[in-house]
Structures are given as structure tokens and as C-alpha cells.
Structure 1
Amino acid sequence: MSGEKTELPTPKKLRDARQKGQVAKSQEVVSSSLILALIAVLFAFADYYMSHISALLLLPSELAYQGFQDALLDVAIAIAKEMVYLLAPILIVAALIAIMSNMGQFGLLFSGESVKPDIKKINPVEGAKRIFSLKSIIEFIKSILKVSLLSCIIWVTLKGNLNTLLQIPTCGLECVPTITGVLVKQLMIISSVGFIVIAAADYAYQKFDHTKQLKMTKDEVKREYKEMEGSPEIKSKRRQLHQELQASNQRDNVKRSNVLVTNPTHIAIGLYYKKGETPLPVITLKETDAMAKRMIAIAHEEGIPVMQKVPLARALYADGQLNQYIPGDLIEATAEILRWVASLEQSEE
């Protein structure tokens, strides 16, 4: 049926949607990227963080002999300083990762449409529709699957290290930091794989859903095509490009010719011949009337010889084929032209 949206969105439909801020975007890609970046920062700067955390833990013992008022101010300053040291790298990395993960999905995009106030957003009826919509149900199912996957990953990791954990009572407190550190590292690495899988799956779904939302009916595609074809701007641009391309090709055809044979203005035939390269002259262009005049003008501009030879020009136009050798019965007449061109070149030298 023509009313069914079965057609993929056209480039114009995608551009219009993008201008409104409607792009395929996965929040899971952003959140997973942030978590992975946080894990990477903690791994890479483990010693840095341990030193500053230790500094915080040692504050009470260092200030134990000061008066309460003096110690309170020193503690506040020290805590503020250490928190800056601890949070600054994470916040800087988080900001960069958030920007990069969004740009990686849909590029650089600034759209005022997405932040415009919309009365529908505060309408209780519309709000209820959004809560119980198919999209909300899908998001709920995705959340359950995500929690289930991560729970399975944690369970498998803990189960694999169960024997090691059971050794803690016999090993003593000295073993706790080492065992805990190894377990935390395993959880971080395996969870990272889980986050990557979740992000990739959600991004694929968001791309699919975005395309589905923008699908068009056959009538919409036809109507858009007609509007584009009928647009004066499009027609003018297409005509300009065609003229530029045609002019470029015309000049190239003239420039690769050794000579133009004319009739004198109604026919223009371009010939190319190079001894040892082409056994016979090749017809490079065949034009009549206004185009012939145009070719002759270009030849004068480019310094290509032009010879008026009415019978030969007519014969070449009638019997010759573009980009092919000249007919055999015209070799003698054409040779006369080429000898004339050669004499011109010798005189110039």
C-alpha cells in the first residue's frame, strides 16, 4: 500500500531531521565510554590516587596535636586540595570522553530545535503516553538485560575466585589487599567487555530505530523528488554545473587536437596525430553551428591551428566517428592538412 512507510529516508529527510537535532544517538555508548575511561584512569594513575587517598587518611594523625579551631581550618583546606587532585583528572577526562563519544556517533551538531520549549513535554496526557509507549517498554527491557548481563559477569568472576576468597581466613589480613586488588582488576576488565557489548548492541538498535522512525511512503518520496526537481535553486545549480563541466570538456577536446578543420563556421572537426603514436589521425571532436563557433573560438585562444576545408570538414562529419581513426578514403586529404600543421610548427621553432 502507498500509505505504508516502506522506503528508506532520503538524504534530504536525514538532513532535515539532523537540523532538528534528530540523530541516532545511544546513551549507552556515552555512559559505557565514561565508565571505561574511569577504569583506564584508575589503572593508569593508581599510584597517584593511592598517594592522595593516603594523604587524606593520614590527616587526623597529623593534626591530632593542634587545637580544634586551628585543626578545623587546616583539615578543610587539606581536604579541598586533595579532592581537587582526586577529581580534576576524572572530570577533565569525563568531559572529553562525553564530547568525543557523542561526536563519534553523529559528528559535530548544534541544533536549537532540540532545546526549544515544547508544551507537549509538560502535558500530563502526553507524559502518560510517553511512559506507557513502546519505546519506554523497550528501554525498560534493555535496562533489565543490561543489569542481568553485568550481574552474570560479576557472579562468574566471583565464582571463579571463590577458592581464593575462602583462603583469606587462613592467610590473614596481610592477604586481603592483594586478593582484593586482583579481584577488583578482574571485575573491571571483564565488566569493560560487558560495557562494550552493551554499547555496541544499543548503538546498532538506535541506528535501526532512527531509520525506522524516518521511513517514508512511496508517495512522500515521489513528492519530495518532484519538489527538489522543481526547485529553481536546484535547477539553476544543476544547469551551472552542467555548463561548467561542458565548457571544461570542450576546452580539453580542443587542446588535445593538432588542428581544427572547419566549414568555415557551421562544422568544426578536431584531429590529433602524432607520428609513432597513432597510425592514423584521430577525430577528437565533431561540432556544428553554435558549438562549432565555440570550438573555433577556443582553438584561437589556445593557439590551435584552424584550417577552412569545406569538402573535408563535411566528409569527416558525415563519415568519421568520434575518438576513432579517420576513414581510409580521407587519408590523402587529411595528410595535406597535417603537412600544413607541421610546417607551421617548424616555422615557429
Structure 2
Amino acid sequence: MAEEDSGQEKTEQPTPKRLKEAREKGDVPRSKELTTMLVLMAAVLGAFIFGGQLVERMIGMMEHNFLLDRSAVFDSNAMIAHLGVSIREAGLALAGIFGLIVVAAIVGPIALGGWNFSAQALQPKGSRIDPLAGIKRMFSLKSLVELFKALGKFALVGGFAMLILWQIRGDIIALGNSPDRPAIQAALEIVTWVFMVLSAVLIIIAAIDVPYQLYDYTHKMKMTLQEVKDEMKNTEGKPEVKGRIRQLQREISQRRMMKAVPEADVVITNPTHYAVAVRYDSESRNAPIVVAKGVDFVALKIREIAAEHEVPMLQAPALARAIYHSTELDDEIPAGLFLAVAQVLAYVYQLKRYRDHNDVSAPRQPDLEHLDIPDEFKTDPPA
């Protein structure tokens, strides 16, 4: 079906946002046939469960009302009392069946579209009382489909009902010649079996209607490609706005990262392209963590801050690249790089001790160019 406004066809499946907005407006898939079938089946089930009780209470109610004293007939108070007793007995007799019917009437709509309460659907709308809109709905394709459905349901249910009544016409006529109690029991059995057969017919109708309602709802909710694009734009924002947000996020992250550089134990460099700042706190972490990392200009800024705060800097190109590509900020060094990082930190700690205490011998610098880096962490140097 073509869109009247844009000329585009609705080819895209509805997005979660569109379905959510439809639910908020009270627009969910429903099947009247499913609800009708469940209500009728609940009535049949109630007749099977509470049929004996219903017969006994009906007989008792009839005896109570027909076996009256002559004086009670002319006593308005007595007649009102009889009416109250009759209403109470009828209510108790039908309570079980009505209870099952109410449950079925609630479960029927929920079974297809789920529970949904919409305040927007309760709000008055001028389009609902607009004669032109009403005429348009009357002659729409959906109304035509509903008309054919109603005619088909009437023909199918009516046909089966006439067939059943014709088959049991003898039993129905025989009720007039039967005593009260057997006649009421037989009438209840006849009604129960008739309802059971009609329920079976409605199962067929519901089995056809439910898939159609789901298909019709999905088709109605479909979107044009332009609608999907507009929704994505409204949801996620314009590309330039998103780009600006990402830029601000990067700047905030970099400022926070640069503040952590003075707390690092060592800065490992490439020496020019990469720089990673590593800190090890044995009390709070099981392994060294990366507090800052960057390439090119960011790496230069890390080196400048490290030099300003006298943070040791060592050139270990392979290790710097491996840490940069394998570890995120505030994450622990991978287990495969423990040995190489431990060698660097050991040298740094020894160098610090040597500078603080001149009575110890100068540490021997490890071969930083040829540290033990596992193959899965090795990366090619930048051109």
C-alpha cells in the first residue's frame, strides 16, 4: 500500500519504538473471535463442573416460588422476601459459570496482544465523531473484510446450530412430557452439548482469525524507509550532533586520563608513536593497570606530563604497541604480558631505590628492545 504523503511503500518492519508508541495509544492486535471462543468454552466448562449444583438450585428455587401459601401471595412483604431469596439462589447457582466466563473474557484479549492499559485511548478525539471519518471507515478494506468475516461466521455457526437442533429435535420435544427434575437435567445436558459443538466451530474460526489479525497488525505497523531514517535520526540525533558529543566525550576522557599520568610508575614509549602509562598498586589490584595511553599527539602529551612530574620513561617499542592494542584504560595488563611488564617495573623500582639511596649499586637495564612478547600480542611497527 502506498503512502499518501510520501509516495513510498511500507516495506520495512516496524521498529520497537513504533510498536511501543502504538501500545501507548492502545493499538495492539486483538481477536474478537478468540475471545468469543474462550468465553463459550468457559461456559461449557462451567456447565460440566457446576451443572449438578445448578440443577439442584434451580429446582429448589422453583419449588420455593411455586409452592406458595395463599396468604403469602397477597402479602407484599412475603413476595419481596421470595424475590430476594430467588435472586440470591440464582446468583449462587450461576456464580461458578459466570466466574469462569469473566476470567475467559479477560484472558482472551490478553492472550493475543498482552495486557495493555492506555490512558491515551480513553481521551476524547474529534475524529471519532467526525462523520466523514466514520463513512471512510465504513467503506474501508478492513470494514469489508470484517463484513465477510461476520457473514462467514454467521453462516458457519448458524448452519451447525440448525443441524444440531434438527438432530436432537426429538429430545427437545420430549422435554415437555418429562417430570421437572429429569427435564431440567436433560435440558442442561442438551444446552451443554450444543455449546460444546459450537465451541468447536469457533475454534476453527479463531484459528483463522488470530493469524490474520497478527498479519494485519504487522502490515499496518510497517514503515517506509524514510520513516525508519527519520526515527533513527530523532532517536540517535543528527550526525553532526553525535559527532560533537563523541568529540566532547573524548576530550573529557583525555583530560581525566592526563590527570592520572603523574600517578603512573612508568611510561613505556615507542618512542614517538605510542605511549602507555602503567601503575601497579599491590593492595588494590592483582596486576598492573593502564592509566593512560595514546598515539602521536596524545602520546606526546603523555610524555610531556610524565617529564614534568619526573615519571620514569622507557623505550620498549614492542611492549608499548602490545599494551596499547590489548588493554583498555583502567584495565589490568593481560596475563601474557605480565613477564615483560614485571621486568620493566622491577627495573624502575630498582632505579628509584638507587636514586633515593646512593649506597646501592646501579641496576642493570634489561634489554627493552627484545622483551618476551607472545606472538598474539605482537603488532607491526607504524610506518
Same topology, TM > 0.5: yes
Identity over aligned pairs, percent: 28
TM-score (norm 2): 0.60
Q: Which residue is 1:63 aligned to?
A: 68
Q: Which residue is 2:370 aligned to?
A: none
Moved more, 21-30 or 111-120: 111-120
Measured at CA, do residues 34 and 223 of structure 1 come closer, stay the same or move farther in structure 2, by a change above 3 Å? same
Asked if 1 retains the 8 angstrom alpha-carbon contact of 2:58 and 2:90, the reply is no
Q: Which residue is 1:139 aligned to?
A: 146
Measured at CA, do residues 187 and 285 of structure 1 come closer, stay the same or move farther in structure 2, by a change above 3 Å? farther
Counterpart of 1:310 in 2: which secondary structure? strand
Whole-angstrom CA distance in 2 between matches of 1:67 and 1:110: 51
Whole-angstrom CA distance in 2 between matches of 1:269 and 1:205: 63
Moved more, 142-151 or 48-57: 142-151
Summarize deviations over 1:233-285 as a string: whole Å, max 9, x none. Answer: x969x98xx99xx9xxxxxxxxxxxxx975399424799xxxxxxxxxx9997
Does residue 267 in structure 1 map to residue 270 in structure 2? Answer: no
Q: Any residues of structure 2 matched to 1:44-123 within 5 Å, and which?
A: 44-70=49-75, 71-123=78-130
Q: Which residue is 2:319 aligned to?
A: 316
Whole-angstrom CA distance in 2 between matches of 1:102 and 1:231: 40
Whole-angstrom CA distance in 1 between matches of 2:198 and 2:313: 84
Q: Any residues of structure 2 matched to 1:157-168 within 5 Å, and which?
A: 157=164, 165=170
Q: Which residue is 2:136 aligned to?
A: 129
Partner AA of 1:267 in structure 2 = V
* Pairwise CA distance, 1:43: 1.3
Summarize deviations over 1:85-113 as a string: whole Å, max 9, x none. Answer: 23443444333333332333333322222
Measured at CA, do residues 13 and 318 of structure 1 come closer, stay the same or move farther in structure 2, by a change above 3 Å? closer
Partner AA of 2:13 in structure 1 = L
Partner AA of 2:314 in structure 1 = V
Counterpart of 1:288 in 2: which secondary structure? strand
Partner AA of 2:200 in structure 1 = V
Whole-angstrom CA distance in 2 between matches of 1:5 and 1:315: 54
Number of corresponding residues: 291
Does residue 35 in structure 1 map to residue 37 in structure 2? Answer: no
Measured at CA, do residues 124 and 91 of structure 1 come closer, stay the same or move farther in structure 2, by a change above 3 Å? same
RCO higher in structure (CA 8 A, sep ≥6): 1
Counterpart of 2:29 in 1: which secondary structure? coil
Asked if 2 retains the 8 angstrom alpha-carbon contact of 1:150 and 1:194, the reply is yes
Measured at CA, do residues 148 and 199 of structure 1 come closer, stay the same or move farther in structure 2, by a change above 3 Å? same
Partner AA of 1:52 in structure 2 = R
Q: Which residue is 2:18 aligned to?
A: 13
CA RMSD of aligned residues (A): 4.6
Whole-angstrom CA distance in 1 between matches of 2:89 and 2:242: 65
Partner AA of 1:66 in structure 2 = S
Asked if 2 retains the 8 angstrom alpha-carbon contact of 1:269 and 1:317, the reply is no
Whole-angstrom CA distance in 2 between matches of 1:196 and 1:309: 79
Asked if 1 retains the 8 angstrom alpha-carbon contact of 2:275 and 2:320, the reply is no
Does residue 149 in structure 1 map to residue 156 in structure 2? Answer: yes
Whole-angstrom CA distance in 1 between matches of 2:144 and 2:88: 45
* Pairwise CA distance, 1:230: 0.7
Q: Which residue is 1:210 aligned to?
A: 217
Summarize deviations over 1:115-170 as a string: whole Å, max 9, x none. Answer: 222333333333333322222221111112212222344456567x56x958x98x
Asked if 2 retains the 8 angstrom alpha-carbon contact of 1:283 and 1:324, the reply is no
TM-score (norm 1): 0.65
Measured at CA, do residues 152 and 308 of structure 1 come closer, stay the same or move farther in structure 2, by a change above 3 Å? farther
Counterpart of 1:66 in 2: which secondary structure? helix
Counterpart of 1:6 in 2: which secondary structure? coil
Please list every run of 5 or more consecutive structure 1 residues that lacks an aligned counterpart in the other structure. 247-259, 272-281, 293-306, 341-349
Summarize deviations over 1:294-336 as a string: whole Å, max 9, x none. Answer: xxxxxxxxxxxxx978245x3323467746946xxx97x6675
Whole-angstrom CA distance in 1 between matches of 2:215 and 2:49: 36
Measured at CA, do residues 173 and 92 of structure 1 come closer, stay the same or move farther in structure 2, by a change above 3 Å? closer
Q: Any residues of structure 2 matched to 1:160-309 within 5 Å, and which?
A: 165=170, 173=178, 183-230=190-237, 262-263=267-268, 266-268=275-277, 288-289=293-294
Does residue 24 in structure 1 map to residue 29 in structure 2? Answer: yes
